[in-house]
Each structure stands twice: as C-alpha cells, then as structure tokens.
Structure 1
Amino acid sequence: MLDTAHLVLHGLTLKQLAAAEQLADIIDLDTAVIAAELEQAAAAGSVLSARGSAMITPAGRAALDAVYPAAFADRRADDALVRTLADFEQGINKRMLTLMTSWQTVTVDGVQQPNDHADADYDGKVIDKLARLHDQVESVLAPFADADPLTKRFLSRLGAALAKVDQGEHDYVSSVRIDSYHTVWYQMHEHLLRVMGAERDE
C-alpha cells in the first residue's frame, strides 16, 4: 500500500493537473490532508503548484515509481489479478475505445466525421451499449475491487457518471471538462496499470 504522501502523488499521475478537492474525489482522502501533503511535496520539489492546482514533477514521478514495486508487490504477484488485467486490456477496454469512437464520430456516405449529436436514436443506441459495458466491467474487475479500495471507488464513480447520462446529461459520456464516464475510465485504467506495473496497450 502507498502511504498518504505517495497516494497524493499517485492521484496526480491520474489527474495530471488537479486541486485538492479534485484529488479528494479520486483517492478518497480529506481535502485538508491532501492540501497539506501537496504543500510539503511542493517544498520537496515533487509537485509544482499554481493557482490552486498542482502537478507532479519529474522528480516526484521518479520517487513514486521507485516505491510502486514494494507498495504493490502482493498484487503484482497475484496470478488472478494479472489474468484479470490481461482480460480487461484485450477485451473490455478495447470495446470501450470503440464505443467512444462511436460516440464522438459518425460515418456518413463512408466518411467518418464528428458526431453533432443531432440523431437521438443513434446516441441512444451508443448509450445502451455503454450501460451494458458498465455491467460487464463491474464483473470483470470484481477481483480488483475486492483487493483494491481505489478500484472499487473508480467503479462507483463510473456508476455515478452513467447515472448522469441516464438522466439526460450526455456530457457525462466523454467530456474532458467533468468527471465523465470516459474521463473516469481513463483514470481507472492508468491506476490499474501503475498498480500492476504494466504498460498502456493502445
């Protein structure tokens, strides 16, 4: 497991640029605790802070990479988790990428172009596929959710984003400005790779 200081740095690797409040949503720590850790990390050169947000520095990333093997040794040695990540990478994650392409683009007369979301029936079919995929990712990643509190939290955040989509807030499918389904998925994927010491396969 990561200690609090390294958990905050880990959160920054998933969000890239974040305020303490945003990190609290990801790593489930008190905002005041995160703010204090960010201040100490900035003093140590592990973080750059400006206008209320922070990002990890190369030195901070190197320090974090150095502690990952010991912090996650038990999970990396778990054959069931290794297989689960491989199944996720080769199966459901590739389907997610295809689904997001379907959401963001349409094919007209054989030419792919940006989706203006004027066709509600088309968008509705993509959203139906997203709901089915969500049911499957919860099942596929159940071993990680059992072993890793952050994975369980990510699955909950995905469910919250999907609920927003179901309520008609379709920006929650893929907008980068909010915690959309795609945004949270990307963070979760990066977390799984870092936990297991794997490379992104895309």
Structure 2
Amino acid sequence: MLEPHQLALHTLTLRQLASAEQAAHINGLPEADVATALDRAVADGHAITARGSYMITPAGRSHLDGLYVDAFAAIRSDDEIGAAMESFEEGVNKQVLALTTEWQTVDVDGVPTPNDHSDSDRDAKILDRLGRVLEKTRKVLAPLATADPLLDRFADRLDAALTRAEGGETDHVSGVRVDSVHTVWFQMHEHVLRLTGRERPE
C-alpha cells in the first residue's frame, strides 16, 4: 500500500483542487501531516499550490502511476477483488448514477425538468432506494475494503451524506459544493479504479 506522504499526493487525484484540510478529510490522515506531505510534493514538482490549495501536476500523476504497480500488486492480482469490481461497475455504480439522475430531474409531459423537490414522497422513495444501494455497495466492495481500509471511510462519508439528505438538505445527494453522495461516490470510484488499475467506463 501507499506510504502516508504518497497517499496525500494520491488524494489530489480524487479531488483536483484541495487544501490540506480537505485532503485530510478524504484520506483520514492528520491535517498537519498532509500539509507537510503536499509541501514536499510541491518541492518535488509533483504538485503546485496557490492560495492554500494544491493541485497535482502531470509529473505527479506519472510518479503515482509508477508507485501503483508495486503498491497495489496484490490487489490487482486478486481474483475475488476483480469479481467485486465487475459487480461494482455493472451493478451498484450504474444504479447510483441512475438514481442521481432521477433525483435531479422529473418528467413533465415527457420532458426532463429540474427537480424542485416539492414532491417529498417521491424524494423519500429515491432516498430509500439510494440507501439500499449504498448498503449493498459495502457488501460488493468488502473484498477490496479488507485490503484497503480507506473504503470504509468512503462508505461512512456516503452514509453521512445520505443522512443529511434525509434530514432535508437536498444538495447532499448531488451537489458539487458539498460532501454529497455524488461527490463522495466520484472520489471513491476514482480511488478504486486507481487501486485496481482499471479505466473509468465511458
């Protein structure tokens, strides 16, 4: 697996522009350690920084690609994890994407229209289905979570986002400026693709 300073840089592949605090929220490392690691990455030419935020450079991505080969060799050769990823891509990932679209739009005379969330019963049913998919996701990715505990952190963040949505904060399903289900799911998906050496499906 990755060393902590390598994981800090890896986090910038999951969120393209992040402060040390935001990166630490994703990877679970102490914020001070993340800041030190990212400053080191800047010095090495693997990241750039401006106004307290960091972004990975092409050299940083190339550096990580080289590290992944050895760091994730066991994961990439595990047949059970390979099967889990197939189930993830063809099952729960497509379901979450479909539910996100359903959450964002409603059909008005055959025309997709932005959902104003005035139909609380409809929203509640979508959230219930989304909750069941997230619960299934934990089971689907269990083999990978055994090898990489960060998966449990992603699952907990997804549950937290869903709870806030159920409490009436509708932007926590698909909002891009908050730790929404959509945002966390995108980060988790990118993370597991990098672990397993797969390409994001078109």
Answer yes or no: same fold by TM over 0.5.
Answer: yes
Matches of 2:151 and 2:60 in 1, distance apart?
Answer: 23
Matches of 1:124 and 1:152 in 2, distance apart?
Answer: 25
Letter in 2 for 1:30: P
Matches of 1:200 and 1:45 in 2, distance apart?
Answer: 26
The superposition leaves residues 40-80 of structure 1 with CA deviations (integer Å, 9 ceiling, x where unpaired) of 11111111101111010111111111111110000001100
Using the TM superposition, give the Cα deviation of residue 127 of structure 1 relative to its aligned residue in structure 2, in angstroms: 1.0
Q: Which runs of 5+ in 1 are unaligned?
A: none
Q: Which residue of 1 aligns with 2:78?
A: 78
Question: TM-score w.r.t. structure 2 length?
Answer: 0.97
Matches of 1:119 and 1:160 in 2, distance apart?
Answer: 23
Aligned residue for 2:178, secondary structure, equals coil
Matches of 1:191 and 1:59 in 2, distance apart?
Answer: 19
Q: Which residue of 1 aligns with 2:34?
A: 34
Question: TM-score w.r.t. structure 1 length?
Answer: 0.97
Letter in 2 for 1:165: A
Alignment of 1:149-164 (within 5 A): 149-164=149-164
Q: Which residue of 1 aligns with 2:69?
A: 69
The superposition leaves residues 96-137 of structure 1 with CA deviations (integer Å, 9 ceiling, x where unpaired) of 111010011111111112112222222122111111111111
Q: Which residue of 2 aligns with 1:59?
A: 59
Alignment of 1:32-181 (within 5 A): 32-181=32-181
Task: State percent identity of aligned pairs.
Answer: 54
Moved more, 186-195 or 162-171: 162-171
The superposition leaves residues 76-102 of structure 1 with CA deviations (integer Å, 9 ceiling, x where unpaired) of 011000000011001110111110100
Contact 1:144 1:152 in 2 (8 A): no
Aligned residue for 2:40, secondary structure, equals helix
Q: Which runs of 5+ in 2 are unaligned?
A: none
Using the TM superposition, give the Cα deviation of residue 4 of structure 1 relative to its aligned residue in structure 2, in angstroms: 2.1
Using the TM superposition, give the Cα deviation of residue 164 of structure 1 relative to its aligned residue in structure 2, in angstroms: 1.4
Moved more, 55-64 or 1-10: 1-10
Give the length in aligned residue pairs: 202
Contact 2:124 2:166 in 1 (8 A): no
Using the TM superposition, give the Cα deviation of residue 166 of structure 1 relative to its aligned residue in structure 2, in angstroms: 2.2
Contact 2:175 2:183 in 1 (8 A): yes
The superposition leaves residues 117-165 of structure 1 with CA deviations (integer Å, 9 ceiling, x where unpaired) of 2222221221111111111111111112222111111111111111212
Contact 1:105 1:112 in 2 (8 A): yes
